[in-house]
Amino acid sequence: MEGRPDPPGRDSSMNFTLIPEEAPSDSLRRIAVEQIEGAVTQLQRSDDLNEGIHEARKHFKRVRALLRLARGALPEETYASENMHFRDLGRLLSPVRDSAVYIETLDRIRKGSRALIADEAFLHLRTRLVGEHRAVLSAYAQDEQRQKSLIDSLQGAQSRVSSWRFIESEFSLFKAGLRRIYGRGRDERAAAYSQPTTERFHAWRKRVKYLWYHLQILQPLWPAQLKAMERECDRLADLLGDEHDLAVLMEKPSVKELLAVHSAGAQLLHSTVSRERERQRRAAIPLAQRIYGESAGRFVARIEEYWLAYRPHSQFLPQEAVPRIDR
């Protein structure tokens, strides 16, 4: 029903897309407002605060992805300040989410390697990680001032969205940002496989995620084509994300400390994690070849052709009807 708010547990990313009847700049403002509203709703959940924090961070990431897509059309000071604002909000919630990811990652290792199920070090480690997660979640839940500050910051950001001014219109709103993210993804893929470090693969993963978000926004241009590419980006981001989670888990000080006491279990865990990380990096190769199979220039030119089919009238408008500043 129109106007009905999303229920608390529902991911309200369904409107994270352009609408043909809207001017592109209006679509971007609408999307930003909806994502901010979604974050507020999630942070006010009383049924599952842990899940609400997880979903709120997703909303922050969508806003940052939108900002990157429109980066070439926003004044640099607007882009920089808003991107930093949502980055910092996300960091305030990171301890809760990160501590949950450690547990999820360890459980994934356990499921994939039954030899670890009865291992004493494994069981001790999980108990410790659960305790750490409960502690940071409880600290957040009891910090009413921090919660209020977050909500106030989001409401302030929402009021600023209506004042966003774009110095381009139509497809030019997205052209520079799309080219930048796609091109950096290609470059960072090459860097990751030439010098395979945790940091390089993580940097690449972030570009894949941004491209995934951008394809969601632009999907109405040609749903069949862009939905297929979006699914490939989602799969690739998941592989790279799981690989990174494994790496971060093994570098966590409390994990190292506990495993040092259980050397036999530690050796088995390390070998299992190393094999799984290598498998995920190899599995990413064919996906990356499909996604990044063309130059950034050719990719953006192809998407622009889809745009002309999506909004065919835009190419015939007289110049004065396509202002450089959308109001």
Q: What sections of 113-164 are H helices per DSSP? A: 120-142, 144-161
**Confidence check: pLDDT of 121 > 80:** no
Helix (H) or strand (E) holding 78, with range, is helix 76-112
pLDDT band for 324, please (50, 70, 90 cuts). very low
What tens digit of pLDDT does each residue of 190-201 get? 999 999 999 999
**Confidence check: pLDDT of 152 > 90:** yes
Backbone angles phi, psi at 169, to 5 degrees: -140, 170
CA 153/CA 158 separation, integer angstroms: 9
Mean pLDDT of 63-81: 97
Please give the mean pLDDT across all residues of the chain.
89
pLDDT value of residue 270: 84
pTM: 0.89
- What is the residue extent of each domain of the chain? 17-314
pLDDT value of residue 115: 54
pLDDT band for 14, please (50, 70, 90 cuts). low
Calculate the CA 249 to chain-centre distance. 20
Burial (0-12, 13-18, 19+ Cβ within 10 Å), 88: exposed
What tens digit of pLDDT does each residue of 156-167 get? 999 999 999 999
213-222 burial code (b ≥16 CB/10 A, e <16): bbbbbbbebb
pLDDT band for 316, please (50, 70, 90 cuts). low
pLDDT value of residue 259: 73
Task: Please state the CATH superfamily assignment of the domain spanning residues 17-314 in this structure.
Answer: CHAD domain (1.40.20.10)
pLDDT band for 272, please (50, 70, 90 cuts). confident
Task: Identify the residue with better confidence: 268 or 99.
Answer: 99
What tens digit of pLDDT does each residue of 175-195 get? 999 999 999 999 999 999 999
